[in-house]
């Protein structure tokens, strides 16, 4: 059973998400919060698998709450956003948060995102990626990957596609340990800090 905590200051949004998640036989909503501070306290208490967080909330925003959850290794955060939150989106993309979806996403996309993040994958909804490409100036993303081997490039591409380490291992017929070693080498060669940055830089190149 995948335990999900929902945090959004809009009760209508929370109720809608609860209906979507509760429709799945292997998912349940274990708690609700209306701000980031309350969400963090509930996550510490309830230990959900996924925290579904509105990116903009009173007292403590979703990014700060998510960063604290990751720092304390409490659960995997998945951020909900809209297109009018550019500063929040750009700030979130610099962190280790591995999931970003739009609030108006269809139910199947939200469910799919929860499953992907639970499996250790990365979720960048295509609409958000398009938005990032349009809003952020071009970078030397292609250049920073120039020192990678063909195998390492394959790993980068699959990270950007949202695959978890296990899924990458299966795709490339490698062990999990080998995939982890490849990712460590990629981070060292590129100077990036985590897999989310790998995905973002690859998709911006």
Cβ atoms within 10 Å, residue 82: 13
**How far is it, in rounded angstroms, from Cα 22 to Cα 27?**
6
- Report pTM: 0.73
Pick the CATH number of 141-204 from 1.10.10.10, 3.40.50.300, 3.30.70.20, 1.10.1240.10: 1.10.10.10
Sequence-distant (≥ 6) Cβ neighbours of residue 189 within 8 angstroms: 147, 148, 152
Average pLDDT for the chain: 86
Q: Above 60 in pLDDT, residue 193? A: yes
What is the helix (H) or strand (E) element at residue 112, kind and residue range?
A: helix 107-118
Do 2-135 and 141-204 have matching folds?
A: no
Q: Above 70 in pLDDT, residue 122? A: yes
Tens of pLDDT, residues 136-188: 555 555 588 989 999 999 999 898 887 888 889 999 999 999 999 999 999 99
Q: Quick one: tokens of 88? A: 């929040």
Q: Quick one: tokens of 136? A: 């952020």
Strand partners, 2: 27
SS3 105: coil
Sequence-distant (≥ 6) Cβ neighbours of residue 156 within 8 angstroms: 145, 148, 186, 198, 202
Torsions phi, psi for 134 (to 5 deg): -75, -35
Domain extents in the chain: 2-135, 141-204
Torsions phi, psi for 85 (to 5 deg): -120, 50
Residue carrying the six token digits 């990014």: 63
Pick the CATH number of 2-135 from 3.90.1300.10, 3.40.50.970, 3.40.50.2300, 3.40.190.10: 3.40.50.2300
Strand partners, 99: 123
**How far is it, in rounded angstroms, from Cα 80 to Cα 8?**
9
Tens of pLDDT, residues 86-110: 566 667 666 778 788 888 889 999 9
Q: Above 80 in pLDDT, residue 205? A: no
Helix, strand, coil share of the chain (percent; to 5): 55, 15, 30
């Amino acid at each position: 059973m995948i335990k999900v905590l929902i945090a959004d200051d809009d009760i209508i949004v929370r109720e809608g998400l609860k209906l979507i998640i509760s429709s799945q036989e292997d998912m349940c909503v274990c708690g609700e919060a209306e701000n980031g501070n309350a969400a963090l306290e509930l996550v510490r208490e309830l230990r959900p698998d996924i925290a579904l967080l509105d990116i903009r909330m009173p007292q403590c925003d979703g990014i700060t709450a998510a960063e604290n959850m990751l720092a304390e290794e409490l659960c995997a955060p998945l951020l909900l956003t809209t297109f009018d939150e550019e500063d929040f989106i750009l700030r979130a993309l610099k962190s280790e948060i591995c999931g970003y979806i739009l609030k108006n996403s269809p139910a199947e996309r939200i469910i799919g995102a929860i499953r992907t993040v639970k499996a250790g994958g990365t979720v960048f909804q295509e609409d958000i990626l398009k938005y990032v490409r349009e809003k952020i100036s071009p970078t030397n993303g292609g250049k920073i990957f120039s020192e990678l081997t063909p195998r390492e490039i394959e790993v980068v591409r699959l990270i950007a596609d949202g695959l978890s380490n296990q899924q990458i291992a299966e795709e490339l017929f490698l062990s999990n340990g080998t995939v982890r070693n490849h990712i460590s080498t990629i981070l060292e060669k590129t100077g990036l800090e985590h897999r989310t940055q790998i995905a973002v830089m690859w998709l911006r190149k």
